[in-house]
A and B are shown apart, each in its own frame.
Chain A
């Protein structure tokens, strides 16, 4: 079983749609969680950290359920510029920053 699993995608949605991505992780000792965004042939960029209480940044809302080992990202009012691959990322416990990336879910927003 992969350490971080995501929806396979791709998601093709019209502008203005709401889209949700899901992710599960296998290591219950994982300490911190993130969503990164990666554009084609570019480096990954941090979109947002994910906290147990849930957190929101504009049109983006992230949720963490530690009991279910489940992470989600909700994008409201999708824009064309949201088209990218969204990577669910888990930081394994152990004192060092050791990011484990999910395979990514590709989002394509069309007019």
Chain B
């Protein structure tokens, strides 16, 4: 079983809603990530946090807003999403630095209606 826990597992939201995806890990990792995966496509990096600071933003639209309240938690706040944002959102964590193994959570399936 994965040691990266994501909630909720499934979320359906309207285009005017505000919702959040949550991620938690207790492996002591100080790097955390959000990836987005569309059907039959590979995961695509959205954000990287290192030591609770945003290190990489892959030009993600502002309707996605990440937050890292502490070293164990990572949130993704969602507002005014579009139907094309429907996807699997994967949280991951690792020891900071290039080359370290990244562990993924089971993902949150998001449907925007």
Contacts and interface: CB of A to CB of B under 8 A. Distances in A.
A104 B94 contact: no
Interface in A53-98: 87, 91-98
Contacts of A99: 43, 45, 102
B2 A96 contact: no
A24 to B, nearest CB: 15
Nearest to A32: B99
B76 to A, nearest CB: 16
Given A31-B99, A32-B98, A97 B42 contact: no
A46 interface: yes
B66 interface: no
27 contacts: A31-B98, A32-B98, A32-B99, A42-B106, A42-B107, A43-B2, A43-B104, A44-B90, A44-B104, A45-B104, A46-B101, A91-B98, A92-B98, A94-B98, A96-B50, A96-B98, A97-B31, A97-B48, A97-B94, A97-B96, A97-B99, A97-B100, A98-B45, A98-B48, A98-B56, A99-B43, A101-B42
A96 B102 CA distance: 11
Interface size band for B: 20 to 34
Contact of A97 (B41, B98, B106): B98
Interface in B31-54: 31, 33, 41-45, 48, 50
Interface of B: 2, 31, 33, 41-45, 48, 50, 55-56, 90, 94, 96-107
A96 B53 CA distance: 12
A87 B90 CA distance: 15
Given A43-B105, A96-B98, A104-B42, 18 more contacts: A42-B107, A43-B104, A43-B106, A43-B107, A44-B43, A45-B104, A46-B101, A91-B98, A94-B98, A95-B98, A96-B31, A97-B94, A97-B96, A97-B97, A97-B98, A99-B45, A99-B102, A103-B42
Kindly name the residue among A32, A97, A98, A101 whose own CB sees the greatest number of chain B CB atoms within 10 A.
Answer: A97
